[in-house]
Each structure stands twice: as structure tokens, then as C-alpha cells.
Amino acid sequence: MDITETLAELGLAEANHTAEEAVAAAKVSLATLRESASTVESVTAAHSSASQEIERFKGEIETVKASLTTAQTELQAFREKEAEAVKAANAELIQAAVNRGAIPSQDTAAKDFWSKSLESDPTGAKAALAALPGIAGATETVVASQAGTVAPLTREEFDALPTFERNKFIRSGGKVAK
């Protein structure tokens, strides 16, 4: 078997080539195969590098997701604490109004109204609450007397009386002292 037949069997040359033509054709085919192999190696290396980068990014994504979850949890806890602080501050404002006699201490409807108002419009409600007139001596003990009986009442007890009972008490000669 001569070189032309061998190269033809390998697919590197044509069987009808001369020996020199077959070797030249084989050299060209081998050069093309080497280029193809080099290209395949480059693509394989690039693919491997890209796969490693993808895995690295997946790890970073998981880290970011964990950080986001932590941040969301911390934000929710902060919002809850902030809401509790606002609620406590609003309760203090309402209690201050009760203490100065602007809101009757037993009037839960008024307290609820001001609590809701402070939640929905803090600035406006604070101004309106501060503008309510108070009753002098509202935090002092009140003594009510009636026809020979003297019964000490706290401001809260007196405020707890329905309005018509207060008026009736005062009209019947009862006195409210500080």
C-alpha cells in the first residue's frame, strides 16, 4: 500500500492524487483539524470558566437572598417597635389631656377618638388636643357634699357620673370642692 492509498483511507487525501498531491492535501487537512481542535479546546475552556462563574454567581445570589431576608426581618421588627413607641407617645398625650381636665378620665369614647385621630393625623390631632381647654384642679381630689353628707370623690369618680346626674347633684345643693 502506498502513501496515497493510506492517506485516502484516512480521509486526508483523494485516491487519484499523486503522492506529492496526497501529502500536500494531508498537510492542509491536518492543519485544518489542528485549528478545529484548538477552537474546541478554547470553547471548552471558556465553557468551563463560564460554568465556574455561574456557580460563583449562584453562591453570591444565595448570600444576597439571605441578607435581604435578614434586612426584611429587621425592618419589620423596627416598624413594630416604632408603632409601639408612637402608640405609647399617643397614650401619654391623651393622659396629659386627662390630667389637665381636657378629657374626662372615664370617657373611653373620647380617649378612643383621640387615639384614632393621633394615628391618622398626628400633627393636626396633636394641635387640636393641645388646644382643648382644661379644667383647673382636674387632678385634685374633689369632695362632693349633699344635704348633710360628705363623700370624698376623686376627679375620675366625679367625671364618671353621667352629665344629668352631675347637673342634678349640683342643682339639689350638692357642692364640689377642690
Residue spans of the domains in the chain: they are 3-139, 140-178
Neighbour-count burial for 143-162, b at 16+ CB within 10 Å, e otherwise: ebeeeeeeeeeebeebbebe
Q: What is the pLDDT along the chain (178 residues), one digit of tens a residue?
A: 688 888 888 888 888 888 888 889 888 888 888 998 889 888 888 888 888 999 999 999 999 999 999 999 999 999 999 999 999 999 999 999 988 888 888 889 999 999 999 999 999 999 999 998 887 655 544 444 444 444 555 666 667 777 777 666 565 555 555 5
C-alpha cell at 160: 364618671
Q: Which of 136, 126, 125 is nearest to 102 (CA)?
A: 136
